[in-house]
Structure 1
């Protein structure tokens, strides 16, 4: 049995020493450079507001990995209503936030490798202990991402994702 956690890449032919178990995005899909500097649009590490009327929280969408020791995580953004965003913000540094019911939201990240798009999939955002990003539970539909969240993925699927993201122009 091998303990090598890397993989031989079918795109570049090289051995990569590690198979990444997560990827994330810098901003919600709706953010663009023209919003930077606007007083009603703010992009932070964990929260985002666009035009004072669209509100987003950074979160983790976890896919169980069936034949690896750890789960795979997509770093995503979820759009929340203004009242839910205000509530999340109010409880941001409070331990009791873990007692909150999930917040309904819409996935605001377009993840590669999925057809149809992952934008606007229905979600529930689950608060975690202070210092830990919330987790995303997708509505149980037949969308490939929702199916993978329910049933899990294999190391081979993680490799396919890695090859696409490590070599996007090939």
Structure 2
């Protein structure tokens, strides 16, 4: 993606996913958790269930569970926020609760999870 600063302090960027130019700030996202990224292609095919919001890695003796969440960072001197789509690991109980309430707008709770997103080298 690229940024182009205009005189009126708005920015444009070309999305690497759709190829279109957008004027609103992009959400910076990770397509998968780092634990997935570290797997071989064969392991990804054999062990993983992955979609845009959920990831399960089925090892022989355990299942690792991840969800994509949004971290919102307020930016000084602007009316826009910067959003990050990050992955966190959750326990089996928390993962099941999160997944079963994913589309429930009235469900409010908190979960403990470990951050599992890293930049590519």
Q: Give TM-score scaled by structure 1 length.
A: 0.51
- Please state whether the residue corresponding to 1:34 is helix, strand or coil: helix
Q: Go from structure 1 to structure 2 and tell me whether the alpha carbon gap of 1:21 and 1:41 turns closer, same or farther (over 3 Å shift).
A: closer
Change (3 A) 1:60 1:95: closer
Query: What is the aligned partner in structure 1 of residue 67 from structure 2?
Result: 57
Structure 1: segments with no counterpart, 5+ residues: 8-16, 113-167
Instruction: Please give the residue correspondences for 1:96-111 in structure 2 after superposition, counting only pairs within 5 Å.
Output: 96-97=106-107, 99=108, 101-111=109-119
SS of the aligned residue for 1:73 comes to: strand
2:34 partner SS = coil
Task: Give the TM-score of the pair, scaled to structure 2.
Answer: 0.69
Structure 1 residues 5, 104: CA separation in 2 closer, same or farther (over 3 Å shift)?
A: same
Q: Contact 2:87–2:116 at 8 Å: present in 1 too? A: yes
Matched ranges for 1:37-76 at <5 A: 37-38=45-46, 40-51=47-58, 53-76=63-86
The structure with more helix, counted as a fraction of residues: 1
- Structure 1 distance, partners of 2:95, 2:27, is 25
Any conservation in 2 of the 1:21–1:71 contact (CA below 8 Å)?
no
Q: Does 1:22 align with 2:27?
A: yes
Q: Is the CA contact (8 Å cut-off) linking 1:56 and 1:77 kept in structure 2?
A: yes
CA distance in 2, matches of 1:92, 1:111: 26
Residue 83 of structure 1, CA deviation: 0.7
Contact 1:35 1:50 in 2 (8 A): no
- The runs of 5 or more residues in structure 2 that have no matched partner are 1-6, 13-21
Q: What CA RMSD, in Å, does the superposition of the two structures yield over aligned residues?
A: 2.6
In structure 1, how many angstroms separate the alpha carbons of the residues matched to 2:51 and 2:26?
A: 24
Shift of 1:69: 1.9
